[in-house]
Amino acid sequence: MSIEELERLLLTQQRRGHNHLRFSRRLEQLFARDRFRFMQRHWGTRMVILAAVSFQLVYGLHDLLVMPFEVNLWLLPLRLLSVVAIIASWLYYRLPDADPERAQRYFATAYLVCGILVVLLIYASHIQGEQMPYEGLLLFLVFGHGVLSLPFRTVMFSGWLLYGLFLVLGLMFNNNSEQLAYQLLFLGCVNLIGSTGSYLQEHAHRSGWINLRLLNIARRRSEAETQSKLRQLAAVSHDLRQPLNAMGLYAQHLQECAADAEVQRVSEQLNISVEQLGRMLQSLLDYNRLTLTGAVQTQIQSIALLPMLERLRDEAQGDPAASGVRLLVECDEPLWVRSDPALLERMLRNLLSNALRHAQAGHIWLRAEQDAEDVLLEVGDDGVGLAEDQQELVFEEFRQLDNPGRNADQGLGLGLAIVRQLARLLGHPLRLDSAPGHGARFLLRLPLTEPAAIEEPARQQVMAGRVLLLEDDRASREALQALLQRWGCEVRACVNFDEALLVLDDLQPQLLISDYRLSGELDGLQALEAMRERCGTMLPALLVSADVSPALQERCMHQSVQLLGKPLLPARLRQALARHLNGQPSQAAVPGQA
């Protein structure tokens, strides 16, 4: 049944009501199935079965202690029969593939059989000259009406059938008519009150089931629409990044080539604006990817904190916002933690950028210290701080407390929202301690681990080398080729894979660079692998893509290809060129690093 059809049936049933405790045939089947599955999972059902068996065993022990042996010969078989009926129904009830209707019939039958046996026990003891009180039947009826959650019709039919059986046997074996009348009056009142309560309980249960089903449908539809919009945004990310990537490369090339002071100044401002736009687009797409269910997979490993913190500090010192700010790293001993290095670095970079742009601080620090079996990682500042009512607001999407004019220099207001999303994804508790005038401290708790093998340090950077570039977008191809040549590389730029194969032997490249989305049948990663096979060697390779999904990162890691995200930042490209042209092994990319 489709969601739309189910919603239509539920809304129709809701309008009609269900005072007769019956839905339409298809809804009744769904209701019975859901009710049965709930009872199967609920721990209270096991407690009910245990109580029912205990009820018979306790009374059986009581019979052995106070009843004559001849009476027990009659009573014990009946009690054992009731216990067998209860256990048999429960064994079927708990089967994973049990039929809901049949299981419900077995359960109701077991209840009715137990009730009949209780009535027979009362009069079996009377026949043997022992006066067993009728309270056992009274307790049984209360148990059925108030605890078992049987359907109203089942419990009402069973209750009045037991009442009738008690009446018939009472007229046959009970000589005290006044006592019998009193017992029948009391049992009748219990049945009447219990039946009313059972009706109200089931009516409320059915109303709640309809409302819950409609709520689940609305939630699923809302989630599906949200995921669809997020996927659409992720799908067009390549088209959004492609012209921005070419713009950034042209801006860098223009800045380096400009001889006139005014042209150089304008080109420098253009480069800054392109970088701002690239960071904003990257933040928006990163947040979109984090919100999209299952889009980000973690790669947990051992991480040395001190090199990461020092690298982030050195990177931040080049930020114009760091002018006049003292940046410190406090990590006295080599601490290793378990986390995803790319995602953890992204969190810390966002926290550091947030402090530089919004804290108005003179002193910002990255501090790591061991705390029992964990490491407490702190990004703090001595800035203006936050009031208590502001501390939750700063983690909201697109929220900037000190930027009412939406100054583009301060980003989109997604940095801390991404930090919170990543902290939840990685399972690292995040806490903010702040007060007005006393700065802010963002604290992350990470699991401590043993040191891993340390890689060899990178050699001195060298820029010269032969590069084969495969890019089908003309603007990006020409911009990247001009920039690489400006840096001293010998570059052959190819439009498609066939052209790349033709120049491969002639150029004998030292580095391969390819865009991921190509116009031919092969994607960029497949093209790089084919060119390596043609050369007969594992040439260093860079893959440039707007898609930095975990799946693509995994493919690049397995094929020893470094993934660079678009828009391509020249500084990242220079680092990658120097490492690979220097003979260093390639590494998988970190999301958001271009």
Is residue 425 domain-resident? yes
Under DSSP, the state recorded for 438 is S
Residue 234 lies in a domain: no
For residues 348 and 267, state if they share a domain: no
Number of domain units in the chain: 3
Cα-Cα end-to-end distance for the chain: 47
**Which of 390, 421, 447 represents a domain boundary (last residue)?**
447
Residue 10: left if φ>0, alpha if ψ -120 to 50, beta else—which one?
alpha
* 312: CATH: 3.30.565.10
* Residues 305 and 287 placed together within one structural domain of the fold: no
Bridge partners (DSSP) listed for residue 511: 467
| DSSP at 322 | G
CA 520 – CA 546 distance, rounded (Å): 18
Say how far apart CA 437 and CA 231 lie, in whole Å: 42
176 and 308, same structural domain? no
Residue 314 lies in a domain: yes
SS (H, E, C) 440-487: EEEEEEEEECCCCCCCCCCCCCCCCEEEEEECCCHHHHHHHHHHHHHC
Task: Classify residue 48: in a domain, yes or no.
Answer: yes
Please report whether residue 452 resides in a domain.
Answer: no
* Four-residue CA torsion sign, 403, 405, 406, 409: negative
Q: Based on the fold, state whether residues 163 and 257 are members of the same structural domain.
A: no
Report d(CA 238, CA 387) in Å as an integer: 40
Residue in the block written with tokens 């089942």: 154
d(CA 7, CA 24): 13
Distance of CA 333 to the CA centre of its chain: 35
| 186-206 residues labelled b (16+ CB within 10 A) or e (exposed) | ebeebbeebbeebbeebbebb
Q: Is the Cβ–Cβ distance between 489 and 466 less than 8 Å?
A: yes
- The 3-class SS string of 290-313 reads HHCCCCCCCCCEEEEHHHHHHHHH
How many CB atoms lie under 10 A from the CB of residue 262? 8
Domain match, 257 and 306 both: no
Q: Tokens for 141, please give them.
A: 């009826």
Does 225 fall in a domain? no
What are the residues whose beta carbons fall under 8 Å from the beta carbon of 363, sequence distance 6 or more?
Answer: 325, 326, 328, 381, 382
Which pLDDT score, from 0 to 100, does residue 232 have?
60
> Phi and psi for 271 in degrees, rounded to 5?
-65, -40
Are residues 104 and 72 part of one domain? yes
Pairing, β 440-447 against β 374-381 = antiparallel
180 and 311 within one domain: no
Provide the strand spans (E) within 103-186: none
Indicate if 166 and 17 belong to the same structural domain. Answer: yes
Question: Using CA atoms, how far apart are residues 281 and 285, in angstroms rounded to an integer?
Answer: 6
Tell me how many degrees the CA angle 318-321-322 measures, rounded to the nearest 5: 55
Evaluate whether 516 touches 561 at the Cβ level (below 8 Å): no
Q: What is the DSSP letter of 244?
A: H
Any idea how long the chain is? 594
Buried b vs exposed e over 116-130: b needs ≥16 C-beta within 10 Å? bbbbbbbbbbbebeb
Regarding whether 276 and 197 lie in a shared domain, the answer is: no
What angle in degrees, to the nearest 10, is found between the helix axes of 100-127 and 25-41? 70
Return per-residue pLDDT of the chain as tens, 594 residues.
778 888 889 999 889 888 888 888 889 888 888 887 777 776 666 777 787 788 778 877 877 787 777 777 777 787 788 788 878 877 777 777 778 788 778 878 888 888 888 888 777 777 777 666 667 777 777 777 777 777 888 888 888 998 888 888 888 877 778 888 888 898 888 889 888 888 898 899 889 999 999 998 888 887 777 666 656 665 555 566 667 667 777 777 777 777 777 777 777 777 766 766 666 666 556 665 665 555 556 678 888 888 888 888 887 887 777 778 889 888 877 888 888 887 888 888 888 888 888 888 888 999 998 888 888 999 999 988 888 877 777 777 655 555 544 444 455 566 788 788 888 888 889 988 888 888 899 999 999 888 765 544 444 444 678 999 998 888 888 888 888 888 888 999 999 988 998 888 888 899 999 998 888 788 889 999 999 998 888 899 999 887 667 678 888 888 889 888 776 777 778 878 888 886 443 333 433 443
Tokens of residue 436, six digits: 């007005």
What is the DSSP pairing of strand 511-515 with strand 489-494? unpaired
Instruction: Choose one of 393, 420, 447: the last residue of a domain.
Output: 447
Q: What is the 3-state secondary structure (H, E, C) of 202-234?
A: HHHHHHHHHHHHHHHHHHHHHHHHHHHHHHHHH
Domain-embedded: residue 272 = yes
469: tokens are 């570039």
Among 447, 475, 508, give the residue marking a domain's end. 447
Tokens 């060129």 belong to residue? 577
Both tokens assigned to 373 = 């079996």
CATH of the domain at 281: 3.40.50.2300
* 8 A C-beta contact, residue 280 and residue 317: no
Residues 274 and 382 placed together within one structural domain of the fold: no
Strand order in the sheet with 326-330: 326-330, 363-371, 374-381, 440-447, 430-434
CA distance 294 to 278: 25
465 and 591 assigned to the same domain = yes
In a domain, 233, yes or no: no
199 and 87 in a common domain: yes
Domain range for 151 is: 3-219
Partners of 327 in beta bridges: 364
Q: Which amino acid is at 26?
A: R
pLDDT score at 38: 78
Number of continuous H segments (helices) and E segments (strands) in the chain: 18, 12
